[in-house]
């Protein structure tokens, strides 16, 4: 009788301990979110990123073999914020900023070496281990004024042709999000919308039929409906050399459905030591609303890196 009572008491005590703090007991045995493969040992939010600064300078005076004094600086920021919870919510946000300037002694003005501000934010609701329903936002603009440079009567001149938020490109969509890890993911949106927004000052004096970044005379926006495919793939190809690919494809259902606007950004990261690194960016883009030509951007830098 006493032995039965003791066994019953032990069972009751065990159940009571689990009922008092189920979460604490479970957390001690199960990884925080095995389904979406969080690797932070129970943390719901992960924050990572990198800041790069590259500076190049050259000075020549009476140098017999020739040369031109120059100054070049480039600041790059790339940060990620990843959140998840037990209810199947996934929220991934990325912020990229790249600003650079260059000066040659033969020019009267400093000129842009780079100017890019981009934010990607995606929220998903879990379907299974890798797939999620998703909604996403992509926001792009520039930070500094853009100029057209020309000579007039032998004198260097410049004309402002763009500024911050003009143009601004916003893309949103609904679909499915495949995420194997933070380094490999793809978002498929059969229903997506893209808007190009500009200042009216740049369109009110356009000639008939002329467009400014795809926006017609007197208007401030060009909105379309289509489908998009976006993704990211990061891998280490050898020791201290990492390659990061980001891509975005967009099809307009309303106009020129045969045209596919695309953007592919490849970055090679070469780590020399904890603080010194080198990177190579190769970026191609085609969007006939902006310019009916293939756009190419290439940047190479060796400098100081802060890895968070």
DSSP string, 71-105: EEEEEEEEEEEEEE-TTSEEEEEEEEEEEEEEEET
Per-residue confidence (pLDDT) for residue 306, from 0 to 100: 61
pLDDT of residue 299: 84
Instruction: Give the mean pLDDT of the chain.
Output: 84
Q: State what percent of residues in the chain have pLDDT above 70.
A: 84
Check pLDDT > 70 for residue 28: no
- 26: confidence class by pLDDT, cuts 50, 70, 90: very low
Query: Is residue 211 over pLDDT 80?
Result: yes
Distance between CA atoms of residues 230 and 174, nearest Å: 12
* Confidence class for position 112, pLDDT limits 50, 70, 90: very high
pLDDT band at 120 (very low <50, low <70, confident <90, very high): very high
Encode 133-149: b = buried (16+ Cβ within 10 Å), e = exposed: ebbbebebbbeeebeee
Residue 226 pLDDT exceeds 70:
yes
Lowest mean per-residue pLDDT among 36-45, 101-110, 130-139, 202-211:
36-45
User: What pLDDT is attached to residue 29?
Assistant: 31
pLDDT given at position 39: 47
Query: On the CB side of 49, how many CA atoms lie within 13 Å of its CA?
Result: 15
- Cα dist from 288 to 68, 165, 166, 295, whole Å: 36, 19, 17, 10
Which of 43-47, 151-155, 267-271, 301-305 is predicted least confidently?
A: 301-305
Q: How many residues does the chain have?
A: 308
Question: Lowest-confidence range among 27-36, 57-66, 140-149?
Answer: 27-36
0.75 exceeded by the pTM? yes
Is residue 168's pLDDT more than 50? yes
Higher pLDDT, 4 or 145: 145
Q: Could you tell me the pLDDT band of residue 111, with boundaries at 50, 70 and 90?
A: very high
Q: According to the model, what pLDDT value does residue 267 have?
A: 93
Kindly state the average pLDDT of the residues 236-241: 90
Query: What are the start-end ranges of the H helices in the chain?
Result: 2-20, 22-29
Determine the pLDDT at residue 106.
Answer: 87
Joined together, the tokens standing for residue 132 give 């999620």
Q: How far apart are CA 251 and CA 191, in angstroms?
A: 10
């Amino acid at each position: 009788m006493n032995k039965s009572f003791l066994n019953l008491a032990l069972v009751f005590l065990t159940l009571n301990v689990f009922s008092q703090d189920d979460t604490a007991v479970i957390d001690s045995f199960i990884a925080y979110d095995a389904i979406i493969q969080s690797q932070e040992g129970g943390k719901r939010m992960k924050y990572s990123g990198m800041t790069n600064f590259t500076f190049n300078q050259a000075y020549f005076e009476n140098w017999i073999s020739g040369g031109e004094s120059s100054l070049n600086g480039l600041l790059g920021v790339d940060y990620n914020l990843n959140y998840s919870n037990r209810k199947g919510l996934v929220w991934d946000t990325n912020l990229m900023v790249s600003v650079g300037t260059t000066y040659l002694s033969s020019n009267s003005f400093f000129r842009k070496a780079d100017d890019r501000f981009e934010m990607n934010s995606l929220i998903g609701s879990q379907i299974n281990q890798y797939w999620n329903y998703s909604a996403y936002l992509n926001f792009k603009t520039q930070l500094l004024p853009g100029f057209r440079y020309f000579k007039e009567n032998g004198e260097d001149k410049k004309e402002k042709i763009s500024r911050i938020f003009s143009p601004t490109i916003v893309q949103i969509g609904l679909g499915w999000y495949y995420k194997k890890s933070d380094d490999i993911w793809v978002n498929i949106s059969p229903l997506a919308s893209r808007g190009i927004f500009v200042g009216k000052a740049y369109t009110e004096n356009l000639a008939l039929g002329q467009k400014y970044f795809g926006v017609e005379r007197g208007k401030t926006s060009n909105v379309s409906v289509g489908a998009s495919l976006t993704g990211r793939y990061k891998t280490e190809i050898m020791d201290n050399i990492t390659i990061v690919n980001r891509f975005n494809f967009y099809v307009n259902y309303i106009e020129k459905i045969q045209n596919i606007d695309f953007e592919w950004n490849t970055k090679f990261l070469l780590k020399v030591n904890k603080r010194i690194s080198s990177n190579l960016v190769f970026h191609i883009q085609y969007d006939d609303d902006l310019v009916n030509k293939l756009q190419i951007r290439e940047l190479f830098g060796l400098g100081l890196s802060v890895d968070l």
